[in-house]
Amino acid sequence: MVRSLTQSESIQNQIHGEETMRPNIVLFGDSITQESFRSGGWGASLADTYSRKADVVLRGYGGYNTRWALFLLHHLFPLGSTKPPVATTIFLGANDAALAGRTSERQHVPVEEYKENLRKIVRHLKFNLTELSNQAQAANKFVENHNKNGIELTNGRAVVNEITSGRAAVLESTSFSCVCTFHFIIIVSPQECSPTMLIVLITPPPIDEEGRMEYARETYGEKAMTLPERTNETTGVYAKGCIELAGELGVRSINLWSKMQETDGWQKKYLRDGLHLTAEGNAVVFEEVVKVFKEAWLDASEMPYDFPHHSEIDGKNPEKAFQQKCL
């Protein structure tokens, strides 16, 4: 009888495997992620916790919303990667929730689009897109004809997106009715990119509207906005959408918007300018991420060092300690 590995067993095999290369944990998000490697930041604390066990990779882009983040996916998470991250946090939405008609409306993304963009990010991480160059036989379920002029797609089960420079990215299975010819085609592989990858969606934090106004007055003086560019109520709608999507997709989530508001005086305790995190706010994010990681079998205390601890090295015969892992 053949038994499939559980997610726990698969992750343990990956992090306890024979490779000496550390697994990667990627933090993907906006300025709240970009700032997380500052002193006392939640990313820096994660890097310290997983020191010598996993590399915590910072991919934070201040001011970005989910719409703009989509342009980064192929650069940050290359298709067909042989070593995808063991875990990725997706911490976006604070800028999407900026109000239309206010000073930050350039960043505004409607909540339904926000959810759809998050869906695309998760799908990109979960599925491996394999690029085929003039290999029609390998993509026969999508290909009608293949000749010197390129590859002709059948009107079967595929969606064609990102059609540029003779390239077609087939991103998911559904129906379409056009027949087009391209020299190169990218199709969905039936194989998951990383069945063990832990994906964690994090909601935007709550908004202290008065704190945002105070920050604007201190920074811009008479030119400061007269109305807050974000509200806590609206941000809560985005947080709810994020949590709902996580449940729909079967990935883990952290409701930071709700969690922080459980504490009296959260406005000043956790937010330094009504939006970005104080040291205490960073501590909340760190604690919540570590809790989710532990629940998902990514407990730093149970992960091995990438190379022997110094106490295991014999001063007279040092090579012995490295034979098992390195030779």
Cβ neighbours of 118 (radius 10 Å)? 25
Q: Are 232 and 209 in contact (CB under 8 A)?
A: yes
Residues in the chain: 327
Parallel, antiparallel, or unpaired for β 55-60 and 198-202?
unpaired
- Tokens 């400061």, residue? 224
Cα–Cα separations (whole angstroms), residue 123 to 39, 78, 83, 282, 312: 33, 13, 17, 28, 42
- In the chain, what is the straight-line distance between the N-terminal and C-terminal CA atoms, in Å? 35
Catalytic option among 4, 8, 31, 258:
31
Percent helix, strand and coil across the chain, each rounded to 5? 40, 20, 40
Give the C-alpha separation, 113 to 296, whole Å. 29
3-state secondary structure of 132: strand
133 given a catalytic annotation: no
Contacts of 195 (CB under 8 A, 6+ apart): 7, 10
Alpha-carbon dihedral 318, 324, 326, 327, rounded to 10 degrees: 90
- Tokens 């010197």, residue? 148
Give the C-alpha separation, 109 to 120, whole Å. 15
The residues facing 202 across adjacent strands are 91, 254
Parallel, antiparallel, or unpaired for β 150-153 and 143-147?
antiparallel
Closest alpha carbon to 296 in 181, 158, 200: 200
Structure tokens given for 40: 């006392």
Q: Which residues are catalytic, by number? A: 31
